[in-house]
Amino acid sequence: MRAKPMTTKPTAYCLLPTAWDFLRRIALFLIGAAVIGCAIAAHGDSIRLNDQAVARGGSITLGQIAELDGVLAQALSDTVVATMTDQQNRTTVTLDTVRRALEQRKINWADVSLCGYAACRVVIPEAEPSVAVSDASLPGGVSNPRDEVTLNSRMTLRDLLIERIERMAGASSDQLQINFDQRDDEQLKRTIFGQRYEVEPHTQNGLGRLLLRVRRYELDQVVEQFTIAADVSKRLLAVVAATAVERGQSFTSGNCEVRQILLDDANVQPLEDPDLLLGQTAARQLRAGQTIVNEDVRSAVLIKRGELVMVRCISGNLVIRTTARAVQDGAMNETIRLRNERSREEFSASVTGLRQATLTLNADTTLAMP
C-alpha cells in the first residue's frame, strides 16, 4: 500500500500573524509619540510673578520680578514692565501690567503661561558702604563673594517691620502712614539677609503707637533683642465737620463734607456717607475739621421737653386723640415720657412725628382725658 505524501501549509501563512503584530506595534508607537508631542507643546514655557523683588531703579524688567522657565520665557527677561523715578524707592507691578507688556511684544499665549502672585512689590535697597573682601581660594581672586540673593528676599529690618505692620493693620503700605522714631534709624537700616529675626508686637491693634519687640537669633539662641516704636495711621475718606457744629444743631450739606483723613485708632469707625447725616443733629459740640463718628450723631428732635404733644390713643379699632406734655426730648421712633395734664400721671408713648406720639392701649392701661 502506497503511503500518501504529507502536506504542509505555505510558509507565508505562518508569517502573517507576526507581520500583523509588527505593524500594530509601529502604529501604537506613532500614536504614543504624537500624544507626547502634544502634551509637551501644550505645556509650554511659564512666567511666574514673585510677591517681592529688589531693583536698582529706572526700568524694571521681567527678569527682575518673575521666575522664567523655558527658552522662550527667558528670552523675554529684558521686557520692561515698569519705570521708577529718582524720587521713588518702591512700586507695585501687577499681573495685568505684565500681561499688557508681553502682549505688546506679540506673545503667543499658546506657548507661554503667566501665573504667580497678583502683584509684585518692588523696592530699592538703601545704599550701604561696600567692603571689599578677597579670597585667595577663589579663581582669579574674586572680590566680595556673596550668598545667592533671591528676588523675594527682604532687604532691611525696616522692610520686615513694614510687612508685619501691613498685616496687623489689614492694609498695604500705600494706604498707611508709618513713622518710625528717628533714634531707631541705624537699627532699621540693618541688612537681614541670611539672618533670623522675630518680631513680637505688644498689641494686635495695627494703628496708633506701636511697640515692636525684635529678637535676633543665631541657631536657637537669642543673641540680641530691642524694641522699635512706630506711629501708624490709615488713609481713608470720611465725613468731617466743615464748620463748627453746636450740640443739637442739624447737619446740612454746608456744615459737613468728605475729606481724606489719617485714622490712628482702629476702634473708631468714622462715617463715610454724608447723605446719612442730613436731617440728623449733633449729639455733642464739634469743631471744624473734626471727624464725625456714630456717637456724634442723633436723630432730629421732634418733641422737646415741656411741649404740648398730640397723642393718638389706639384701642382696637378705636382711635382717640388727646394732648399731653412732654417730660423729655424725643426723636423719631423713640419712646418718651409724657404727662397727663388732668391727672398729672405720666405714661410712655412712641414719637411718630413733629410734636406727635402714639400710645397703644390695653386692658391694663387707663388714661384720663383732659
Here the CATH number for the domain that contains residue 91 is: 2.60.480.10
Mean pLDDT for 279-283 is 85
Instruction: Tell me what percent of the residues of the chain surpass a pLDDT of 90.
Output: 31
Here the CATH number for the domain that contains residue 311 is: 2.30.30.760
pLDDT at 203: 83
Number of domains in the chain: 3
pLDDT at 27: 53
pLDDT at 42: 43
Whether 157 and 294 map to the same domain: the answer is yes
Q: What are phi and psi of 258, to 5 degrees?
A: -95, 130
The letter for the amino acid at 54 is V
pLDDT at 363: 55
- Cα distances from 86 to residues 89, 93, 124, 154, in angstroms, run 8, 17, 11, 21
pLDDT confidence tier of residue 242, bands split at 50, 70 and 90: very high
Mean pLDDT for 225-232 is 94
Other Cβ atoms within 10 Å of 49 Cβ, number: 23
pLDDT at 365: 55
pLDDT at 86: 76
pLDDT at 142: 36
Residue 160: inside a domain, yes or no? yes
Helix or strand or coil: residue 252? coil
Here the CATH number for the domain that contains residue 158 is: 3.90.1210.10
More confident position, 2 or 48 = 48
Q: Which of 363, 370, 368, 369 is nearest to 316 (CA)?
A: 363
Q: Which of 327, 329, 323, 325 is nearest to 311 (CA)?
A: 323
- Is the pLDDT assigned to residue 128 strictly greater than 70? no
Residue 9: inside a domain, yes or no? no
Residue 35: inside a domain, yes or no? no
Mean pLDDT for 296-324 is 89
Whether 311 and 350 map to the same domain: the answer is yes
Cα separation, 359 vs 55, in Å, equals 73
Whether 308 and 289 map to the same domain: the answer is no
Whether 205 and 320 map to the same domain: the answer is no
pLDDT at 23: 52
Residue 85: inside a domain, yes or no? yes
Query: What average pLDDT does the chain have?
Result: 79
pLDDT at 295: 87
Q: Which helix (H) or strand (E) holds 199?
A: strand 196-201
- Is the pLDDT assigned to residue 28 strictly greater than 60? no
* Least reliable range by pLDDT among 16-25, 52-61, 252-261, 264-273: 16-25
Q: Please, which residues have CB within 8 angstroms of residue 53's CB and are 6 or more apart in sequence? A: 60, 64, 65, 93, 120, 121, 122, 123, 151, 152
pLDDT at 3: 43
Q: Rounded to two decimals, what is the model's pTM? A: 0.45
- Is the pLDDT assigned to residue 205 strictly greater than 50? yes
Q: Which of 83, 102, 123 is the last residue of a domain?
A: 123
Whether 97 and 223 map to the same domain: the answer is no
- Is the pLDDT assigned to residue 136 strictly greater than 70? no
Whether 261 and 309 map to the same domain: the answer is no
pLDDT at 337: 95
Instruction: Tell me what percent of the residues of the chain surpass a pLDDT of 70.
Output: 78
pLDDT confidence tier of residue 123, bands split at 50, 70 and 90: confident
Mean pLDDT for 90-100 is 86
* DSSP assigned state of 328: S
Whether 284 and 330 map to the same domain: the answer is no
- Is the pLDDT assigned to residue 29 strictly greater than 80? no
Residue 332: inside a domain, yes or no? yes
Domain that holds residue 351: 301-360
Whether 200 and 72 map to the same domain: the answer is no
More confident position, 127 or 133 = 127
Percent of the chain that is helix, strand, coil (3-state, to 5): 20, 40, 40
Whether 292 and 163 map to the same domain: the answer is yes
Residue 54: inside a domain, yes or no? yes
Whether 313 and 344 map to the same domain: the answer is yes
C-alpha cell at 22: 509588527
pLDDT confidence tier of residue 258, bands split at 50, 70 and 90: very high
pLDDT at 17: 47
Whether 102 and 184 map to the same domain: the answer is no
pLDDT at 5: 44
- Is the pLDDT assigned to residue 304 strictly greater than 80? yes
Whether 354 and 339 map to the same domain: the answer is yes
Residue 185: inside a domain, yes or no? yes
C-alpha cell at 28: 501604537
- Is the pLDDT assigned to residue 140 strictly greater than 60? no
Residue 22: inside a domain, yes or no? no
